[in-house]
Amino acid sequence: KREEDLTHTMEYALTQDGKRIEVVANIGSQKDAEEAVKLGAEGVGLLRTEFIFMERVKAPTEDEQTAIYSGIAKVLGPERPLIIRTLDVGGDKPISYMPIPKEENPYLGERGVRIGFDRPEILRTQIRAILRASEVGKVWVMFPMIGRLEEIHMVKNMIEEERQNLGVAPIKTGIMVEIPAAAVMADLYAKEVDFFSVGTNDLTQYTLAMDRGHPKLAPYVDGLHPAILRLIAQTVKGADKHGKWVGVCGGIGSDPQAIPILIGMGVKELSVSINSIPTIKAQIRTLNTADCQKMAELALSAETGAEVREVSPLPEI
């Protein structure tokens, strides 16, 4: 259970009725981690490792990655979790030294963990570095773009093999829920992982079939559309069945209108942009779980995104 993993004593964000919602940061570097801690982050819910790869002319070696991840873990200290997401390139995130053959539909092509299956040495190297870094902090691993159960089995096998080679302790393992199939299958996938983190940017893109960066479609690519909320609710229900927790690391986790609804649906952790940490904690402290649950119920029966926003007006803080 998430609660057992969190033994530190920093100032938590508790709702009015005393329920803790963990507020952690989305980061891309050690500098971000330092900034996040200063602003009250209770950990890191998403380290986007692709940024570490993208700023280089060739892939960082296992030792280099170990040093980078360990450096970030040290900034966070022994109590704050660091969730490291494995490389999520492809789609809108190209890397010059890892060319992907031209695809008709890059967002539906070799992206995220799929690249790691095509080029396993890249993924294995990263897994080894993450396992080594897990010796210096509370480091967990998370995989992007998981859709099928076999993919979970494959990454878990890789982790187990590398873990035995290195002789290190087991690591908590989670997946991004950003492909609708993962949300729909959450009650079964939850048996296999320690946690889920909902990537609402991609979940919205794939559920509404709208490019997340499309300038003309931007007004409609709404993570608060009830279809997305229903998938998140289904994810939480599936996770609950097996005593696993669900976080949200996509953009709506930082949206003040989404926060009461997410809490009402049973989301335990919000991984948000660094700058929004203080205001999100302040907002959580004004909320009451029972009210949030009512709001979530209304939002889940809303017919449009606009209706959802009416259910959850902007807070005054």
Is residue 146 within the footprint of ligand PEP (CB under 6 A)?
Answer: no
CB 224 within 8 A of CB 303: no
Is residue 249 within the footprint of ligand PEP (CB under 6 A)?
Answer: yes
Is residue 29 within the footprint of ligand PEP (CB under 6 A)?
Answer: no
264 binds, options Mg ion, ligand PEP, none, Cβ within 5 to 8 A by partner type: none
The residue whose two tokens read 């005393």 is 18
Is residue 247 within the footprint of ligand PEP (CB under 6 A)?
Answer: no
Query: What mask, x for binding ligand PEP by CB under 6 A, covers residues 190 to 209?
Result: ---------xxxx-------
Give DSSP secondary structure letters for 76-144. Answer: HTTTS-EEEEP---BTTB--TTS-----S-GGGSS-THHHHHHSHHHHHHHHHHHHHHTTTS-EEEEES
The span from the CA of 170 to the CA of 168, in Å, is 7
Based on its alpha-carbon atoms, the radius of gyration of the chain, rounded to whole angstroms, reads 19
Give the closest residue to 89 by CA, choosing from 65, 116, 71, 68: 116
The span from the CA of 307 to the CA of 197, in Å, is 25
Is residue 80 within the footprint of ligand PEP (CB under 6 A)?
Answer: no
Q: Which residue from 178, 194, 222, 269 is in contact with Mg ion, where contact means CB under 5 A?
A: 178
The CB-of-201 to Mg ion minimum distance in angstroms stands at 5
Only one of the segments 96-104, 126-134, 163-171, 193-201 lies at the binding site for Mg ion (rule: CB under 5 A); that segment is 193-201
The CB-of-119 to ligand PEP minimum distance in angstroms stands at 19
Interface residues with ligand PEP (CB under 6 A) are 46, 48, 88, 178, 199-202, 249-250
Interface residues with Mg ion (CB under 5 A) are 178, 199, 202
